Chain A
């Protein structure tokens, strides 16, 4: 199949200060991600994968280097344009779900969709993530897995170009984790959404089309899965 490049990361580095310590989070990372691809970025904690994801998602800016999405250089965007980019093109899923505690499931999703141009039908998405019956519940009334499903629905409903997931199963038990991965996999297939997952769990790499290995801020290896494993069948 003709692979169309969606994301092009060119030689980016990132340094930041944390308290009194200077951290070199990324060193000259360069790679491409294709449209419709399911990518896992694998690395131990502190390897710079979150930083990489944040830069791609327009939440952070690199110290050096460029990032192109659909041939637009997002690293050259100013604040306002970056906000619009996050609003319309990116769907985030966080390790700790990060739902608004005083909004219900459906309200959390609407919070995201009411500001973007071209959102999907929320009820359908809720059905897809299997939470249609629980749409009026508050986060505190739901389990971690359910909260993460709401978070995924929130990201997908925006109809973004790209779904960025930061350790989506990190706070969940094995079975719930697997079901979340299946959900992401289905969304990748059903809506033909590009999905990037970052994780330190190497088992998850098996379900991806491609795995990028990271260590100490560098991409050390790229691995292509000709036949990705069904998420239901991976184990850790």
Chain B
């Protein structure tokens, strides 16, 4: 081994604490990079593959009724490659523990080349079309329903008994959510059951017709154009809604996840590698400064600039290479965990994990590039060192008064040790800026996960509790007469009850449109608490409409303007209506109207599609036998779903905290160690003058404490700014983030930051206690 390399190796050994601290930062950055990139690509590719083998539908046409023979005609429409009819109904299902949950019954032809074909995971396809069914995987496992067991859906008021013949996956329900109003999948509360076409037609009374058409478009054909065409052509069959693949709920959720993962796989590692690069650059430049005489001697021995720059560069490259090797290994291991996490979230039966060498190689390349840049910056002073000059002692630094000195009144009041501390801090401004900003960054990294927890909490608490205030939300399988309220009051203990209409319409403003549920409510509804964007309480207007913030933003409408409401119900006219207010709603997109106004203009008199109610009784059980009720949603159900989700989040918060801690530790530890070795002479002189080791440690502690506090003070607005940014970027159509970080979050983040900084300090204490001041004063061995 070259002797210069041997020197390097021993140098690394002597500074192993710092070496490890930086390397860990690199490892964390590259682990995140490999794991998340691979995770995202694995998910993306698996989903695409899954869509391909199951022939995933391009368009979903929901209509009132379309006869069998009309399906064939659809194929004649330009751009349509294939069309298939099916029946889809939401019905109640009585579970074994006598609970009523909502299931979607979908008819299947079970042909292999069928659009949205099913992926059989267990059991067999349907053999006896009249009493067998297939069940979606997630619902089956959440409810612990096995093959050959029976399920009892209630169809058109009649109870059926179907044998579960197979467990299947469907490309439509990779992310199993009932509708846009749900924040989180609740596989226990909503399931999908596939039945034979014969059975569906018979039991729903749809002889010779369908209520949904799946369409595969010709390759490369503009799907939005096709959507408009279909809406026109199929109007006579009562088109309710045409959903494109892009807007299909499950697909949309998966794409968002992939998009988000891809974004964070780029952003997070850059932060970590950037920090590592800065530490490396600073460290090497200090090393070069400290080795000034050594470099001079090496130059005297005949070593050129190139070999000396290489020498220090290797330090940086070693960090980069060691970091990337560990990062790749850990990242690859972690990527399979991420894949497993996706399995928990998404229902893809064929999730395959592939290790993409591209990302491993990229990880090495990125880290090497960062380290080369850092190394070059750090070693640039090697060039200026003249061998002869380097043997002479450096001229003393010009001592300057710091800015604070000039505030005489204040300065005089400071104790001597604080004066020294402040002078030291401001003497090396670069180090000061680096440590302070480093701590700000640490604070932000710690603050963000806590805040994201806050944000989910607030979405949830705001929506279910503050905005919606009912105990139960009950939906009917078909519109019922007003009188049903009386019936409900008879079977269960009701404190308050109000009828509602919830119906999908297309809300149009200019060129923008969105299909969403418009909810009709009683005049002085007690179940909703509307607040405008200024946080003032507002009332539901007698005429006109209130729009949720997300909806108004999406279609670009302002208060006072008119929107068109397109009616899907055949024979009903479109309505132009004034937007009377825009309200805060964290979850989902909705419009709200007075129930009478809505009935008059859009529907029929005396109809209800559901009720809201408050009750102390066991409403679910009481309503069990009532006909025409598809779902009884209670606030406490929603809470438990949310709590399950929070448990999942705790892990990712923990991991993020660890990452933040690593950053903070590395920054504080390295800069302190560098500071100590640079100021050996100064500390030795203080020791000779009679300062104890403890006093010197406290002095450094004071310096770092000052910078930590300043760093946190800068970190707080920075964190707030980041949150605002995240709010903008991550607010989707489905939920509007409205993050109010609680005071507790700030306090906890500050404390966690302080703990990490303190740990780093503790680790440096040893170095000060080991400092041999006499040796330092006389020793001139390089």
A interface residues with partner B (beta carbon < 8 Å):
16, 18-19, 50-51, 54-55, 57, 59-60, 79-80, 83-88, 90, 92, 94, 96-103, 107-108, 110-112, 114-116, 139-140, 147, 154, 158, 166
Contact = CB atoms under 8 A, between A and B. Distances in A.
Contact of B395 (A19, A84, A108): A19
Contacts of A114: 2-3
7 contacts: A54-B387, A97-B781, A98-B294, A103-B6, A111-B301, A114-B3, A115-B303
A101 B305 CA distance: 21
A52 to B, nearest CB: 11
Contact of B293 (A88, A92, A98): A98
A85 B304 CA distance: 11
A133 B276 CA distance: 44
B779 to A, nearest CB: 9
A83 B2 CA distance: 19
Nearest to A87: B302
Interface stretch (B7-15, B430-438, B703-711, B747-755): B7-15
A167 B407 CA distance: 50
B300 A101 contact: no
Given A18-B395, A57-B300, A116-B302, A101 B782 contact: yes
B266 to A, nearest CB: 40
Nearest to A111: B3
B770 interface: no
A3 B301 CA distance: 28
Contacts of A100: 7, 294, 297, 782
Contact of A94 (B2, B14, B391): B391
B4 A59 contact: no
A86 B302 contact: yes
The 9 closest A-B pairs by CB, nearest first: A87-B302, A19-B395, A60-B388, A54-B388, A102-B10, A111-B3, A59-B387, A59-B388, A83-B304
Given A59-B387, A98-B297, A102-B14, A139 B781 contact: yes
Contact of B3 (A16, A87, A96, A110): A110
A80 B391 CA distance: 20
Contacts of B396: 19
B297 A102 contact: no
Contact of B781 (A57, A92, A140): A140
Contacts of B293: 98
Among B3, B294, B305, B389: residue with most chain A CB under 10 A? B3
Nearest to B391: A94
Contacts of B7: 100, 102-103, 111
Nearest to B293: A98
Given A96-B780, A114-B2, A139-B781, A88 B388 contact: no
Interface in B681-723: none
Contacts of B781: 96-97, 99, 101, 139-140, 147
Interface string B365-409: 000000000000000000000111101100110000000000000
Given A80-B304, A101-B781, A59 B299 contact: yes
B522 to A, nearest CB: 84
A88 B302 contact: yes
B447 to A, nearest CB: 42
Given A59-B300, A90-B302, A115-B302, 12 more contacts: A18-B395, A19-B396, A60-B386, A83-B305, A87-B301, A87-B302, A87-B303, A92-B300, A99-B782, A103-B6, A108-B3, A147-B781
Given A59-B386, A98-B782, A102-B11, A111 B391 contact: no
A112 B391 contact: no
Contacts of A112: 301-302
A86 B296 CA distance: 12
Contacts, number: 97
A92 B301 contact: yes
A18 B386 CA distance: 13
Nearest to A96: B780
Given A98-B782, A101-B781, A84 B2 contact: no
B387 A60 contact: yes
Contacts of B3: 103, 107-108, 110-111, 114
Interface string B765-782: 000000000000000111
B381 to A, nearest CB: 16
Contact of B388 (A51, A85, A111): A51
B305 A79 contact: yes
A107 B307 CA distance: 18
Contacts of B301: 86-87, 92, 111-112, 115, 154, 158
Contacts of B298: 111
Interface in B259-298: 293-294, 296-298
Contacts of A51: 388
Contact of B303 (A59, A83, A94, A102): A83
A16 B386 CA distance: 12
Contacts of B300: 57, 59, 86, 90, 92
B3 to A, nearest CB: 4
A98 B387 CA distance: 12
Contacts of A54: 387-388
Contacts of A18: 392, 395
A116 B304 CA distance: 12
B395 to A, nearest CB: 4
Contact of A86 (B294, B299, B386, B395): B299
B677 to A, nearest CB: 13
Nearest to A19: B395
B459 to A, nearest CB: 58
A16 B307 CA distance: 27
A108 B395 CA distance: 29
Contacts of B782: 98-101
Nearest to A83: B304
A19 to B, nearest CB: 4
Among B7, B293, B299, B391: residue with most chain A CB under 10 A? B391
Contacts of A55: 388
A55 B386 CA distance: 12
A87 B303 CA distance: 7
A73 to B, nearest CB: 19
Contacts of A86: 299-302, 387
Contacts of A103: 3, 6-7, 10
A90 B386 CA distance: 16
Contacts of A79: 304-305
A94 B391 CA distance: 9
Contact of A60 (B4, B303, B389): B389
A99 to B, nearest CB: 7
A147 B782 CA distance: 12
A107 B6 contact: yes
B10 to A, nearest CB: 4
Contacts of B304: 79-80, 83
Interface string B2-30: 11101100110010000000000000000
Among A94, A158, A166: residue with most chain B CB under 10 A? A94
B78 to A, nearest CB: 74
A198 B83 CA distance: 100
Contacts of B305: 79, 83
A133 B7 CA distance: 22
A83 B302 contact: yes
Contacts of B297: 92, 94, 98, 100
B2 to A, nearest CB: 7
Nearest to A164: B300
Nearest to A16: B389
A50 B301 CA distance: 17
A110 B782 CA distance: 17
